[in-house]
Amino acid sequence: MSALLTWVLGLVGSLLSSSVARFVALKIVLWGLFVTVLPVVLINVFAEILQGLMDVVGASVGSGSEPLLVQFTGFAGWLAYHLRIPEGFSLLFSALAFRFTLRLVPFLR
C-alpha cells in the first residue's frame, strides 16, 4: 500500500511540477512580448494612423493656407524658450489626459 501511495504521489508531483514550469515559462514569454514587442507595434500603428490623418488633412486644407503647426522663431522663440511655454503646454495636456483617464475608472467618480 505504501509503495502504491508513493508511486501515485510521485506521479502527481511530477505532473504538477511540469505544469507549473510550463505556466511560469508561458508567463515569462507573455511578459517579454508585452514589454518589448507590443509597445513597438502600437507605436508603429499609431504613427501610420497619424501619418494617414495628416495626409488627409493636408490634402483637404490645401497648400495656400497657413500651417497647422506654429513654430516660434526669433524673439518669440527666445521668449517661449525662457518662459517654458512648450513645457507648460505639455504639462497641461498631460493633466487633461490624466483627468480624462481617471473619469473612465468607474469607482473614482
pTM, full prediction: 0.38
Structural domain containing residue 95:
70-109
Q: What pLDDT digit, counting tens, does each position of 76-85 carry?
A: 888 888 888 8
Cell of 49: 494612423
Tell me if 108 sits within 8 A of 102, measured CB to CB: yes
Q: What is the CA radius of gyration of the chain?
A: 28
For the chain, the domain total comes to 2
Residues 16 and 37 reside in one and the same domain: yes
Query: Does one domain contain both 10 and 57?
Result: yes
- In terms of domains, do 4 and 56 share one? yes
Torsion of CA 55, 57, 59, 64, to 10 degrees: -130
Q: Are residue 76 and residue 38 in the same domain, yes or no?
A: no
CB proximity list for 99: less than 8 A, separation 6 or greater = none
Tell whether 5 and 54 lie within a shared domain. Answer: yes
Domain shared by 39 and 84, yes or no: no
pLDDT > 60? residue 65: no
Task: Among 6-10, 44-48, 59-63, name the one with the lowest average pLDDT.
Answer: 59-63
Distance separating alpha carbons of residues 86 and 91, to the nearest angstrom? 9
